[in-house]
Amino acid sequence: MSNPLVLASKEIYLKLVHRASRKVKKENDKIVFLLSFSTSSKYALQLLYENFPNQLVVCYTRDSKMIAMGYQKKGCAIFDIDDFSILLKEIVPIVSGSRLVFCDNYFAFLAGISFFSRTKVVQLWHANGAIKSFGLEAKYTENVTKTDKKRYMNVYDKFTHYVVSSKKMTSIFAENYHQKINTLPFGYLPTDLFFDRSWVDKAKKSFSSYYPNNKKTILYVPTYREREKKIPLDFSNLQRQLGNEWQIMVKLHPHDKDHDEIINEPNIITDFYNLDLVQLLPSVDCLITDYSSVPFEYSLANPKGKMIFFCFDYEEYDKEVGIEKDFMEWAPGEVVQTEEALISAVKHSKNQSFSSFNQLWNEYVTGDAGQRLLKWVKKIYDN
């Protein structure tokens, strides 16, 4: 149960936000981007800046400060969401009067905002699909108070549109947010890159300039876990069993703390020379993950690749967080729970096809999500 003092402080926070929002009597022409996932939102920000440089305002969480500062140098106004005085004095008035607000996550202060009737609030989610539960369907929300749930719903109610890649993701948003979903079926914007042959070639060239191109590449991308947990893999044994034909890379979630069992392993590559995850995927021969959203992009980045799901804590994770009920039916690769089974799955190559997986999860993806979104934005401003 929530601490009464914490609950009271959240109520005061939202009342102050609401009071500041109610003072806004006039619309502005700004496009506000609420930024918390700099990697997944980078492409959308670039497109919006190139086409609406005078309207774009970036409101960022501290984890995304560096990319926001880059747009400040280009002339955009930027504001720190985590600074409450700035939130009340600067962010709330701009957001409340904006014609268009983009979000890449859940932002609590939206619960207190009063928007004009024609304002569009677009959820540009930071993932292309979902294996784990979130929102009101996440298991950890079962014990929150009714007040907490009402506050969550007040945020979800503010979203007028969702950019999605499939009917499947639309239904997942509807289920997890308990909302009727108004979709923009454009596709997940970062996936446009995988349809750009010159970008893919450049990504592969960058990859091969840093890493041996005479070896096959395994990339292990474990999902974020609220309770930090030692990964039950002997990475020395993994490398020994697979041999020198493989190079093993591990990319932790941005919110994860360093795992000593990985960082201290000399044979494991954890230095990516500022290459983003999307830049790695076209060169990865075998993706190993669990409940991360990476598969929904990898299936497009490397359609001839291979996926393995190392779900060593499947039952526990399902109880603590929640896993989509039909995951085992559409998982586009072998699901294993032990190191021995993982090694066997890597060694004994099975033909994989991502065709049915992409039909389910990437049905709207055609490589022009960014242009379709821009067309929609321009239509908003023409009216």
Q: Give the domain range for residue 137.
A: 4-188+366-382
Determine how many CB atoms are found less than 10 A away from the CB of residue 347: 11
For the CA atoms of 19, 22, 24, 25, what is the dihedral angle to 10 degrees? Answer: -150
Look at residue 231 in the predicted model and tell me its pLDDT: 86
Residues 331 and 230 in one domain: yes
Question: What is the arrangement of strands in the sheet containing 120-123, beginning at the earlier edge strand?
Answer: 77-80, 56-60, 31-35, 100-103, 120-123, 161-163, 183-184
Q: What are phi and psi of 113, to 5 degrees?
A: -85, 135
Are the C-beta atoms of 11 and 106 separated by less than 8 Å?
no
Residues 309 and 373 in one domain: no
Look at residue 258 in the predicted model and tell me its pLDDT: 57
Residues 113 and 238 in one domain: no
C-alpha 73, offset from chain centre: 25
Split into its structural domains, the chain has a count of 2
Residues 337 and 376 in one domain: no
Residues 197 and 184 in one domain: no
Residues 150 and 18 in one domain: yes
Residues 59 and 183 in one domain: yes
Closest to 94 (Cα-Cα) out of 17, 11, 172: 17
Residues 134 and 23 in one domain: yes
Residues 210 and 154 in one domain: no
Quickly tell me which residue has 């939130």 as its tokens.
Answer: 87
What do you get for the CA distance between the two ends of the chain, in Å?
Answer: 47
Give the CATH number of the domain where residue 213 resides. 3.40.50.12580
Look at residue 177 in the predicted model and tell me its pLDDT: 97
* Stated pTM of the model: 0.94
Residues 95 and 158 in one domain: yes
Look at residue 341 in the predicted model and tell me its pLDDT: 97
Residues 26 and 78 in one domain: yes
Residues 264 and 228: their CA atoms lie apart, in Å, by 17
Lookup: tokens for 116: 């004009």
Residues 23 and 68 in one domain: yes
Pairing mode of beta strands 183-184, 268-269: unpaired
Give the CATH number of the domain where residue 100 resides. 3.40.50.11820
Look at residue 263 in the predicted model and tell me its pLDDT: 55
Q: Write the secondary structure of the chain as one string of H (helix), E (strand) and C (coil).
A: CCCHHHHHHHHHHHHHHHHHHHCCCCCCCCEEEEECCHHHHHHHHHHHHHHCCCCEEEEECHHHHHHHHHHHHCCCEEEECCCHHHHHHHHHHHHHHCCEEEECCCCHHHHHCCCCCCCEEEECCCCCCCCECCHHHCHHHCCCCHHHHHHHHHHHCCCCEEECCCHHHHHHHHHHHCCCCCEECCCCHHHHHHHCHHHHHHHHHHHHHHCCCCCEEEEEECCCCCCCCCCCCCHHHHHHHHCCCEEEEECCCCCCCCCHHHHCCCCEECCCCCCCHHHHHHHCCEEEECCCCCHHHHHHHCCCCEEEEECCCHHHHHHHCCECCCHHHHCCCEEECCHHHHHHHHHCCCCCCCHHHHHHHCCCCCCCHHHHHHHHHHHHHHC
Q: What pLDDT tens digit does each residue of the chain (383 aa) get?
A: 567 888 899 999 999 999 999 999 999 999 999 999 998 999 999 999 999 999 999 999 999 999 999 999 999 999 999 999 999 999 999 999 999 999 999 999 999 999 999 999 999 999 999 999 999 999 999 989 999 999 999 999 999 999 999 999 999 999 999 999 999 999 999 999 999 999 999 999 999 999 988 899 999 999 988 776 788 899 989 999 999 999 999 998 766 655 555 656 677 899 899 899 999 999 999 999 999 999 999 999 999 999 999 999 999 999 999 999 999 999 999 999 999 999 999 998 777 899 999 999 999 999 999 999 999 999 998 87
Quickly tell me which residue has 């690749």 as its tokens.
Answer: 305
Look at residue 256 in the predicted model and tell me its pLDDT: 64
Residues 365 and 356: their CA atoms lie apart, in Å, by 14
For the chain, the farthest-separated pair of C-alpha atoms sits apart, in whole angstroms, at 67
Angle at 238 between CA 237 and CA 240, to 5 degrees: 60
Look at residue 2 in the predicted model and tell me its pLDDT: 62
Look at residue 255 in the predicted model and tell me its pLDDT: 63
